Amino acid sequence: MNKKTVRDIEIGGKRVLVRVDFNVPLDKSGNITDDTRIRAALPTIRYLAENGARVILASHLGRPKGTFDDRYSLKPVARRLEELLGREVPVAEDVVGDIPRRAVERLGEGQVMMLENVRFYAEEERNDEKFARSLAELADVFVNDAFGAAHRAHASTEGVARIIPGVAGFLMEREIEMLGRALASPDRPFLAVIGGAKVSDKIGVVGNLLEKVDTLIIGGGMANTFLKAKGFDMGKSLLEGNRVDMARDLMDRAGASGVKFMLPVDLVVSRAADPEAEWKVVPVEGVPEDWMALDIGPESARLFGIAIGEARTVVWNGPMGVFEMAPFARGTFSIARSLAESAAVTIVGGGDSAAAVEKAGVADRITHISTGGGASLEFLEGRQLPGVVALQDK
């Protein structure tokens, strides 16, 4: 990675604004149901505190739409962070202005505080320069450790780095190094597994990966469009009719490039996306007229598992079916287990894929689980991430 990190700058006694991604899921009572993103930022926070920085954390949570809303307060996050750090983490009641300024003035070396939700201000998502300057005035140095928000050119991810010196935190550094190495210099054979609902969401990823991988596996709802392009009747399955020609073109490109292109050979189908509905396994040429494909079948999972086992680098982004429902989760969990059993470098994109490896109980056997759903997707597309571009080069 050619960007400076926290190791490359003096931080002792400095006010350090750290953009973290604490957009964690909460239940109806406001309790955190998954603290993975908080834990992922701990190495950077601890390093800064232990080296005498005055640490000011900034994050968004949910979509408060530019208004102060207690449902999206970061106070529950701060309480969890206090437990993990074993130290007090006060929360300023505001993001910019006198309240956070006075809180920063009280902050001693090695102490940590948190600003309220940056999205309480509409100016955050507009990347408003005045708002970014108000944030920057709180600090001497900016550290971006929020890979999950790095694809957004917002005031707290990109704007601040244009005003005060910006460097990467340890989480950001690892994300860029792991995903970057997979795309630039992977151990081969290099295999990618791409799933999810729509081809249109991942056209860029598939197109970019076709130039880099040895094998490409397509599953999930998006596989239906490719199967339709091969002439199969997909019944009531979700597919994008206006993307069938594009799917055919991508398969032709794979053939011309010598890339092995794998689609499901069997499917789990049902009359409805309902865990109580009747379901059955059929070959791809046998989807009944009024049924829909909701998962890959066992033979597909077996063949995909063999391919994964032969690879040296595997990137996975997107589930194989509606894995939130038990009858349609087997394919996704099978992929998760195949990755866990592989000797390859295994990288799992954020979002549903990360949730799947956690749910399958194999997260500790994956080389790298990305904290960024949209960010990892755009990185795999080969797009530059504004929150990374804005950081200082080495």
198 among known catalytic residues? yes
Give the whole-angstrom CA distance, residue 125 versus residue 354: 26
- Catalytic member of 101, 198, 248, 383: 198
Measure the CA–CA gap between 110 and 14, rounded to whole angstroms: 10
CA gap 305, 347 in Å, rounded: 15
Catalytic residue at 255? no
Is 374 part of the annotated catalytic residue set?
yes
Per annotation, catalytic residue among 351, 372, 373, 387: 351
Q: Is the dihedral of CA 340, 81, 126, 107 positive or negative?
A: negative
- DSSP letter, residue 367: S
What beta strand segments (E) does 100-223 contain? 112-114, 141-144, 166-168, 190-194, 215-218
Given the residues 4, 14, 15, 37, the one annotated as active site: 37
Q: How many CB atoms lie within 10 A of CB 130?
A: 10
Choosing from 66, 374, 382, 383, which is the catalytic residue? 374
Q: Give the whole-angstrom CA distance, residue 19 versus residue 26.
A: 20
Which CA distances in Å does 155 have to 41, 129, 150, 254? Answer: 20, 7, 11, 40
| Residues with catalytic function | 37, 198, 351, 374
